[in-house]
Amino acid sequence: MTHQMGVTGSYPLILAIWLLPLAGAVIAWAFGPQLKRQAGMVGSAAIGLAFLATLASWGAAMQNAGGHLGAQQPLGSWLPGFDFGLLLDPLSLIWALIITGVGFLIHVYSIGYMWTDKAIARFFAYLNFFVFAMLTLVLSDNFAGLLVGWGLVGLASYFLIGFWFFKPTAVAAARKAFVINVVGDVGIMFGIFLIFWKIGSLSFGDVFANVHALDPWLFWTCLFLFIGAAAKSAQLPLHTWLADAMEGPTPVSALIHAATMVTAGVYLVARCAPLWSASHDAQTLVGTVGCLTALAGAILGVAQWDIKRILAYSTMSQIGYMIMGVGVTAYSAGVAHFFTHAFFKACLFLGSGIIIHELHDEQDIRLMGGMQKRTPVAFYAMGASVLAISGFPFFSGFFSKDQVIYGALEHGYTWMWAVGLLTAGITAYYMFRLFFVTFFGTYRGELPPESVGVPRQLHDTQQEPHGSNEHAPSWLMAAPVAILGVFAVGAGWIMMGTGSPWARFFANSFPHETLPAPSVSELVTSIIAVAMFLIGALIAYTRYGSSTALANAPARLKSETEKLPAILVNLYYFNELIGLLFVKPAIAIGQFFSRTIDPHLIDGAVRELVIASRAVGTFGRSLQTGLLRGYALIVVFGAAAFAVYYALEGAAR
Amino acid sequence: MILFYAMAIVLILSAIFVVTAAKPVYSVVGLLAHFAALAILYFSLSAEFLGVIQIIVYSGAILMLFLFVIALLSSGVAAFSEGPNRLPKIAYPAAGALAVLLGFLVFAAGKFHAAVPAASKAAVPPVGAANAFGSVADFGRALFTVDLLPFEITAFILMVAVIGVILLAGDATPYVPVRKRQRIVDQEMREAVIREGRH
Amino acid sequence: MPHADLLPVAIGNYIGLSLVIFCIGIAGVLLRRNPLIMLMSIELMWNAANLLFLAFSRAWLNNAGHIFAFLVITVAAAEAAIGLAIVVIVFRNAQNVDVDEVALLKG
């Protein structure tokens, strides 16, 4: 394997990539009241410049001199033994490109989306701060810096989910996301403790050169690191926060909860590839969790009506694929799916944002329909993205997803291969369901909500607060969506065939393995995947897209709403399960302490002390008679005691 | 030997008289007899200097002090009548137990045989010699050589006692430093001048 | 082997006599309520102690006991002076010399 130590020397351009978003955040924050909408331009410019700097660093990141891959910028020794620094190698380059590139498009889009929001400067401050945090995470050359970025990303996510802090649901969702992310942070911290205990260094280069020093704790290190990855990447059972996080503005959902932050878990596992390659148990664990999450997320996506929640569960499912890919050590396949997913999922979210804007903050697809004519840009871009995510041949998702599924088979996990293919079919079904219900037929927004099965109360709380009808120049939102749509179609072409640019790109990053050819060839896998796509899409078409289905759409949607299985509507009861297993006991412990321990033991101890000292005082008062002769008597008793003592002692002699 | 028992009888009887006397002045008389008998015993123990001190200090000084105080306070004879006993009831059985205990100690003391070290009698100068045991010279040598520090401390204690008595009983008005007193006088003078000026 | 010839009588007699006088002094302090008589009882106790010092001093032929007795007399004189001063000041303030009536320190 190749050690991922950077070249000695420095490459200051990384500092520019890293610090430009921070500068944008500080400016937007400090001069927000003066800048107002211009904060969006400042923020977008900062991210755009960072993207250009990243592109300019391509050559440096790809250099491979004497076993040292990539470029490095040391940041000095902060503590004895802790040399911080930035590292740009192919893996972090890919992430930095997506963060800044897709991030730039989303920033531009956000100027239009948040045009009428009074707190637009604060929004861009948070958004730039998030990009900075994410870059800290991926550019750090050691576990400590990674953990710092990890925590900052969680904080930025908290800020952005709770951006509309006057909505109680948004605040609750932000808190939930933060708490679950902290669970993950603690997991990572334990992993880092183990690494430092066994190896004595946190630098990636040192750790990956001494993986076997971790024995017999290697599996536990992987497990703890994966708890962090699972929390950040919404894997079972720590996935519950992701759908709630859709309370944030739609661009946030696109940037954080689809394209970048939630893939931090994928990055972590891919970054720690030497650890995973050395521990077969960890591969099985992570692959299993990813595979089950992919399936569970896809099934939940079937039962949702909120356009952003459908996309959220689809995100969860797609990240399940990525985690499965990196988990079974098909690292470049998992990263490839991250790469393509960033485009088509950001495109889907931003497209849905256009629709939500067009319909004045309506998010329920049962109240949409016929959007093809009203939002043509969203229609074409999202159409391309739906084809990409569903695995239509030669669209981007087709290549990366097949790589993941075939990678599982290649590494000997046949059942994951089967589940992956099944999930691909379900994905096609629910994505086309979304597509048909939203864009085809006639507009249902003027119908009473109850007639399509939407409960009135739910409908009112799900809206995003924008207020004014004043609209930004339409190209601000249309252009990023269109660009992302183009990439959603074409991003996979670099992965075509053996010896593709993608494979060459990662040639030096990951450990090479020669595996026996599996019983089912890659071509057959692709054919089965396309067949699954066709089946899923066809079912969706007959149920929602055909002319007969569209004719009586309202009644059909209503009856379907009523017939959804309770277990799916209630999201497998995961929230209730977590409430039962963790929240209730925590509340019970708290109440036990507040009602029993505190008043009786802690306060009680103080009270007993008071009673005791008062008793001592009362006793002392009774001795203090003021009678001189009483005192004399006591003195005489003392003297007599001495006399008796010495008399007895003398007698004993 | 006869002297000891005679003096013992005198000592005990005079002590009982001191404690039981109705008036303090009778007690003083009893105490005088007690101290005289004690001085005789001291002489028999060849403590000549202390015998003399006993007469001079106790009988001459302390008892005179008692008499002065009695004379000072007896302007109100009623003051010496004793009021109701306010000692708590628990004190009586306690005192009874104490009496039994002390009686036992007295009984035990009669059987005491000290293992007196075999001091060389030859080293003891004969009684009447200038430096005999207990003589003024013998005592003075010890007091001003090996035991000088306790002697100095004694002087200090006496000085403290003198100051204390002066502070306690000397003057009823509180002590005011001279300079402050001068200031008070000046202030009063100024105020007097101002008053005069107004008139 | 006690040096009986150094003492007029056996040492136990001195101890017994001293204890008896001491106990009479205790009784005076505890039973009387006149502070003057209490002070005199205290003087009895001082002297009982002094008698023992001198008797043992003679038995051991060691004049440290004389020095102690001297110190006791000094302290007794100081005590008597202070005590009488207190009696005077209490009488001046309270017009009463019954110690049971002077209980300002009662808690």
Provide the chain A residues 576-635 that lie in CB contact (below 8 A) with chain B: 625, 627, 629-630, 633
pLDDT of residue B164: 87
Chain C contact for B174 (CB, 8 A cutoff):
no
C8 to chain A nearest CA, in Å? 25
Q: What is the predicted pLDDT for the residue at A473?
A: 67
For residues A437 and A352, is the Cβ–Cβ distance under 8 A?
A: no
CA distance A484 to A479: 9
Owner of token pair 């005289």 = B36
How far apart CA A491 and CA A170 sit, in angstroms, is 34
Beta bridge partners of A72: A87
Residues of B in contact with C43 (CB under 8 A): 31, 58, 62
Nearest-Cα distance to chain B for C4, in Å, is 9
B177 vs chain C: nearest CA distance in angstroms? 23
Cβ distance B91 to A630 less than 8 Å, yes or no, reads yes
In this predicted model, what pLDDT tens digit does every residue of B79-138 receive, in sequence order? 455 566 666 677 677 777 777 777 777 777 666 665 555 554 545 555 556 667 777 888
**Residue for token digits 């001046």?**
C92
Which stretches of chain A score pLDDT less than 50? 1-7, 461
How distant, in Å, are the alpha carbons of A194, A212, A277 from that of A216? 11, 9, 15
Angle at A344 between CA A343 and CA A348, to 5 degrees: 120
Alpha-carbon distances, residue A315 vs A294, A310, A554, C71 (angstroms) = 9, 9, 28, 100
Judged by DSSP in three states, A6 sits in coil
For B:56-115, CB contacts with C below 8 A are 57-58, 61-62, 65-66, 69-70, 72-73, 76, 79-80, 82-87, 91, 95, 98-99, 102, 105-106, 109-115
Q: What is the mean pLDDT of residues B195-199?
A: 66
CA distance A592 to A603: 14
Give alpha helix (H) positions in A83-217: 90-113, 120-139, 143-161, 168-199, 204-209
Chains that touch A (3 or more CB pairs under 8 A): B, C
Residue B147: pLDDT band with limits 50, 70, 90: confident
C33 touching chain B per CB within 8 A: yes
| Per-residue pLDDT at A514 | 63
Rounded to whole angstroms, the Cα distance separating A232 from A244 reads 14
CA–CA distance, A357 with B144 (Å, rounded to integer): 112
Q: Does B46 touch chain C (CB under 8 A)?
A: yes
CB A131 within 8 A of CB A19: no
Could you give the maximum distance between any two Cα atoms of chain A, in Å? 122
Angle between helices A13-30 and A90-113 (to 10 degrees): 20
Compute the distance between CA of residue A230 and CA of residue A227 in angstroms, rounded to an integer: 5
Residue A139's CB is within 10 A of a number of other CB atoms, namely 26
In angstroms, the separation between the Cα of residue B167 and the nearest Cα of chain C is 9
Partners of C61 on chain B (C-beta within 8 Å) are 119, 123-124, 133
User: What DSSP designation does C70 have?
Assistant: H
d(CA A616, CA B83): 32
Q: Does the pLDDT at position B77 exceed 60? A: no
Q: Do A643 and B86 touch (CB under 8 A)?
A: no
Kindly determine whether residue A623 and residue C99, on different chains, have CB atoms separated by under 8 Å.
no
CA atoms within 13 A on the CB side of B3: 12
With beta carbons less than 8 A apart as the criterion, state whether A85 and A73 touch: yes
In this prediction, residue B13 has a pLDDT band, given cuts at 50, 70 and 90, of very high
Number of CB atoms found within 10 A of residue A106's CB: 30
Q: What are the backbone dihedrals phi and psi of residue A471, each rounded to the nearest 5 degrees, phi first? A: -115, 145
Contact B15 C25 (CB under 8 A): yes
Q: Give yes or no for a cis peptide into A565 (omega within 30° of 0).
A: no
Nearest CA in chain A to C25: A636
Contact flag A627-B87 (C-beta cutoff 8 Å) = yes
Closest CB to A626 among C26, C38, C103? C103
| Paired tokens of A443 | 């507009």
Mutate to test the interface with B, among A622, A623, A624, A627 (most CBs of B within 10 A): A627
Q: Partners of A65 in the beta sheet?
A: A68
| C15–B109 C-beta distance less than 8 A | yes
Closest to A633 (Cβ–Cβ): which among C30, C38, C99?
Answer: C30
Q: Using a CB-CB distance cutoff of 8 angstroms, which residues of chain C are in contact with residue A629? A: 29-30, 33, 99-100
- Please, is A82 exposed, middle or buried when counting C-beta atoms within 10 Å of its C-beta (0-12, 13-18, 19+)? middle
Query: How much is the average pLDDT of C13-23?
Result: 86
**Which pLDDT value is given to residue A1?**
33
Q: Which stretches of A303-330 are DSSP H helices?
A: 307-327
Q: Is the ipTM of this complex over 0.90?
A: no
- DSSP 3-state assignment of A306? strand
C-alpha R_g of chain B: 27
Please indicate whether, in this complex, the C-beta atoms of C29 and A621 are within 8 angstroms of each other.
no
Residue with tokens 């969006």: A40
Which residues of B touch chain A, with CB atoms under 8 Å apart? 86-88, 91, 94-95, 98, 101-102, 105, 108
A83 in helix, strand or coil?
A: strand
Residue A143: alpha-carbon gap to chain centroid: 18
C-beta of residue A228 within 8 angstroms of C-beta of residue A248: no
d(CA A242, CA A356): 19
What separation in angstroms does the CA of A415 have from each of A258, A296, A420, A468, A522? Answer: 27, 15, 8, 52, 16
Are A21 and A127 in contact, with CB atoms under 8 Å apart? Answer: no
Interface test with B, best of C45, C67, C86 (most B CBs within 10 A): C67
Q: Are A364 and A454 in contact (CB under 8 A)?
A: yes
The residue behind tokens 């002070």 is: C39
Q: Which residue in C has a C-alpha nearest to residue A631's C-alpha?
A: C30
Two structure tokens written together for B128: 């009447």
Which residues face A79 on adjacent strands?
A82
Q: Which chains pack against B, by 3+ Cβ pairs within 8 A?
A: A, C
- Listing DSSP states for A400-444 in one string gives HHHHHHHHHHHTT-HHHHHHHHHHHHHHHHHHHHHHHHHHSS---
Look up residue A374 and give its two tokens. 């009203």
**Between B and C, how many CB-CB pairs are < 8 A?**
237
A5 Cβ neighbours under 8 A, 6+ residues apart: A67, A68, A69, A72, A204, A205, A209
Q: For residues C36 and B25, what is the distance between their CA atoms, to the nearest angstrom?
A: 9
Instruction: Kindly state the tokens that stand for A332.
Output: 């470049």
Rounded-to-integer distance, Cα C35 and Cα C32, Å = 8
Q: Which of B2, B12, B18, B67 to mutate to test the interface with C (most CBs of C within 10 A)?
A: B18
- CB–CB contact C107 A629 (8 Å): no
How far, in Å, CA of A523 to CA of A536, rounded? 20
CB contact under 8 A, B114 and C59: yes
- CA nearest neighbour of A488 among A376, A365, A350, A373: A350
